[in-house]
């Protein structure tokens, strides 16, 4: 960050946000030439991290309401420089210090400098959580209806849970890409985390009695509250028992054939073939879904949104397979047109194009137009 000579920032103004000379990464003593009152020194590990910015904004707002301003500096992770800087703050009669630091930094030498006249607040090992208590949002907001928006729809609640987890994953990816931090927690307790995670509302579920119905009910509640989030976060998939129960209860989406829509199955089976049997080129020669497509009276295209959702979710599984190193060379949608489906005859329609079996007239469905645009976007 370039430095330029300017006067001290106005009362309560956050120097970091306005780029004044009070920011000094090379010579932290530069901003301490004047004795000031109603000032708190703030030490940050880095200026360009998206992690510390919101924290600093909150500190700035709180200090400004109390008539204080901030003296912000970045002295890196060197503990000697941190101690020297805090000592200078004390000598210049600064009213206190706030130290933002990762957990792995030894802060005891800094603690020793604090007393009643010069308080030091250490915020170490901070964790940010883009998503807070997804189960509360999904279950209480969209299934039981106890909280906003007050809906009572199990399928909607599951979709909300899925998209909350998706949003969490995208936020984690964006954070790591922007901050350059790729560390993740592992089996080693000494391994540090990268400062971002998720806040789960985990509850222990106990059956009221040993009756099989109570045991089953407790397991389902545990699934909705706990494993529905823990399994995909740590094992990469949703809990099988919950998926099976939802399918039996008619909650999960199914096709007109009565088949569950489960793109994870496509991923698992091809990953198995690749891992256990062969690395030769693989092609998906048939993948699609039958739905109850009825041609509108005005002759417009059939709005087969369910088929578009089906294809989109399976294309995502294909993308993940390619990223995992599966030698997948091609994907063919079943099918181009509605056709004769063996035992089901003409009763089940898999096509992207609707066929009037009496007149043989063909009409593109919305899914055909979506598929066309998808292919164009990949060129």
Q: Which residues are catalytic?
A: 133, 286
Q: Say which DSSP state 343 is in.
A: G
Residue of 335, 319, 340 whose CA lies nearest to 367: 335
Angle at 242 between CA 216 and CA 250, to 5 degrees: 100
The residue to which tokens 């560390």 are assigned: 183
Dihedral sign for Cα atoms in the order 293, 297, 299, 300: negative
CA 73 to chain centre: 31
222 — phi, psi (to 5°)? Answer: -60, -40
- For residue 364, what are the CA distances in angstroms to 97, 295, 310, 319, 354? 67, 10, 17, 26, 6
Write out the two tokens for 362.
Answer: 């063909």
């Amino acid at each position: 960050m370039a430095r330029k000579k300017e006067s001290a920032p106005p009362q309560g103004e956050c120097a970091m946000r306005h780029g004044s000379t009070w920011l000094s990464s090379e010579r932290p003593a530069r901003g301490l030439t004047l004795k000031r009152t109603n000032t708190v020194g703030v030490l940050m590990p880095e200026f360009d991290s998206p992690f510390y910015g919101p924290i600093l904004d909150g500190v700035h707002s709180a200090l400004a309401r109390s008539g204080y301003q901030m003296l912000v500096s970045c002295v890196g992770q060197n503990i000697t420089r941190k101690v020297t800087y805090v000592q200078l703050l004390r000598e210049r009669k600064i009213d206190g210090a706030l130290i933002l630091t990762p957990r792995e930094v030894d802060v005891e030498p800094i603690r020793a400098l604090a007393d009643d006249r010069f308080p030091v607040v250490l915020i170490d090992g901070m964790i940010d959580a883009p998503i807070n208590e997804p189960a509360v949002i999904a279950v209480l907001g969209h299934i039981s209806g106890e909280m906003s928006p007050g809906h009572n729809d199990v399928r909607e609640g599951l979709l909300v849970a899925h998209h909350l987890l998706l949003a969490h994953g995208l936020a984690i990816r964006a954070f790591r890409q922007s901050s350059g931090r790729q560390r993740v927690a592992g089996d080693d307790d000494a391994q540090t985390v990268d400062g971002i995670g998720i806040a789960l509302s985990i509850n222990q579920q106990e059956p009221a009695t040993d009756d099989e119905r109570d045991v089953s009910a407790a397991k389902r509640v545990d699934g909705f509250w706990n494993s529905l989030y823990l399994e995909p976060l740590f094992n990469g998939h949703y809990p099988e028992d919950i998926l099976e129960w939802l399918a039996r209860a008619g909650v999960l989406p199914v096709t007109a054939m009565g088949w569950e829509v489960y793109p994870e199955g496509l991923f698992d089976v091809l990953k198995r073939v690749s891992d256990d049997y062969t690395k030769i080129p693989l092609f998906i020669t048939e993948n699609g879904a039958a739905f109850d497509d009825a041609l509108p009276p005005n002759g417009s295209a059939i709005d087969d949104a369910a088929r578009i959702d089906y294809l989109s979710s399976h294309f995502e599984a294909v993308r993940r397979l390619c990223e995992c190193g599966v030698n997948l060379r091609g994907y063919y949608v079943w099918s181009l047109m509605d056709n004769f489906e063996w035992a089901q005859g003409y009763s089940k329609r898999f096509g992207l194009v609707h066929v009037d079996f009496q007149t043989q007239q063909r009409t593109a469905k919305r899914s055909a137009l979506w598929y066309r645009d998808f292919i164009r976007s990949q060129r």
